[in-house]
Amino acid sequence: MSDPLLTIRDLSIDIETPTVAAKVIDHANVQVHLGETVGIVGESGCGKTTLLKAILGILPKTAVCRSGEILFEGRSLLDLWGTEESRRIRSCDIGFIPQDPYLSLNPAFTVGRQLNESLLELTGQGAYAELLRMLRAVQLPDPEGVLERYPHQFSGGQRQRLLIAAALARRPKLLIADEPTTALDVTTQSEILEVMRELANETGVAMLFVSHDLGVIRSICDRVTVMYAGQSVETAPADALVNAPKHPYTRMLLNCHPGRSHGFKGIPGQVASPLDPPPGCRFSPRCPIAIAECSRRRPQPLHPSPSQEVSCPRYEIDLETAADA
């Protein structure tokens, strides 16, 4: 495979408060290749959104990068942070679909004014025509009229379509979507996902899709990275991940899904706090097959097959037998 479009390698980020530092991301690895859709899945608070903010350069001032790098087409985004070039990358090469369409549009400006603002860089008239084309593609009727209205005159689903159109109108190389359907009701969710899937196929854009919903991820992504408490624990093709999960956390997470044949099971314990994370593998305190070594050193990624990566030396051990033993 060619060089990846986006590489997040060994990334660690702390959010510092006056008293403590929250270790929100701990040595995370994610890769997105050209034309590929990669999902990041994990529970709330596992660092998914922080990871996206790091790529987009909108981390709070209190965030400190302790290790690792973010490479976009070989350029280090963390080094470019705050420069004109980083802004141009975000303006032209990366499209962003935010989590909450209600809060992501400025109520004081018409939709056209604010969506155009981020497209100014591009080709002026060309970008405007492309925006109109995309508004049609996301099935908003009367695109010219839409642009003259204010955000409060749209429903949540319509706003999310607007934001998708704005993200794609810049013809980005990479599309970043942060739980784009969470704030919407279920029927709207599936419509939006359908629109995104179609447009992604049509334009061939690479996509980084973040969600806590494995079903959504599976329906839209080629590969999936599972995160737990700021660590990326497993990466695999979507089907392989769902059918043959390796990491104990992924296996237990899938068992939580009520529809699975194994029957519904929860994961005992609570998600590790980033304020005082357990040493080594952060899942070890809740892991039924953990050994003393797990909480001493952070496990190195292993490759059960060329397309899979799992950060657990004991991924071959069966959970049931371990629990019974």
- Tell whether residue 167 is a contact of other proteins (CB under 8 A): yes
Q: Which two tokens stand for residue 278?
A: 């357990």
Tell me the closest approach of the beta carbon of residue 199 to other proteins, in angstroms. 17
Nearer to other proteins, 47 or 95 (CB): 95
Tell me the closest approach of the beta carbon of residue 154 to other proteins, in angstroms. 12
- Tell whether residue 104 is a contact of other proteins (CB under 8 A): yes
| Binding piece for other proteins, criterion CB under 8 A, among 112-120, 210-218, 222-230, 300-308 | 112-120
- Tell whether residue 107 is a contact of other proteins (CB under 8 A): yes
Nearer to other proteins, 114 or 158 (CB): 114
One of 21, 34, 92, 302 touching other proteins (CB under 8 A):
92
One of 72, 96, 128, 283 touching other proteins (CB under 8 A):
96
- Tell whether residue 114 is a contact of other proteins (CB under 8 A): yes
- Tell whether residue 109 is a contact of other proteins (CB under 8 A): yes
Q: Which two tokens stand for residue 212?
A: 């806590």
Q: Binders of other proteins among 39-78, rule CB under 8 A?
A: 53, 56-58
CA dist., res. 128 & res. 115, Å (int): 10
One of 43, 121, 213, 222 touching other proteins (CB under 8 A):
121
Q: Binders of other proteins among 130-159, rule CB under 8 A?
A: 150, 152
CA dist., res. 245 & res. 45, Å (int): 22
Nearer to other proteins, 150 or 322 (CB): 150
- Tell whether residue 87 is a contact of other proteins (CB under 8 A): yes
Nearest C-alpha neighbor of 116 from the set 144, 136, 80: 144
One of 3, 79, 117, 293 touching other proteins (CB under 8 A):
117
CA dist., res. 154 & res. 186, Å (int): 18
One of 100, 191, 213, 222 touching other proteins (CB under 8 A):
100
Q: Are 44 and 212 contacting, i.e. CB atoms less than 8 angstroms apart?
A: yes
Tell me the closest approach of the beta carbon of residue 33 to other proteins, in angstroms. 22
Tell me the closest approach of the beta carbon of residue 167 to other proteins, in angstroms. 8
Tell me the closest approach of the beta carbon of residue 144 to other proteins, in angstroms. 18
Tell me the closest approach of the beta carbon of residue 98 to other proteins, in angstroms. 5
Q: Which two tokens stand for residue 167?
A: 């993200």
- Tell whether residue 124 is a contact of other proteins (CB under 8 A): no
Size of the site for other proteins (CB under 8 A): 30
| Non-local CB neighbours of 258 within 8 Å, separated by 6+ positions | 264
Which class for 93: exposed (0-12), middle (13-18), buried (19 or more C-beta within 10 A)?
middle
- Provide the binding-site residues for other proteins, judged by CB under 8 A: 53, 56-58, 87-92, 95-96, 98, 100, 103-110, 114, 117-118, 121, 150, 152, 166-167
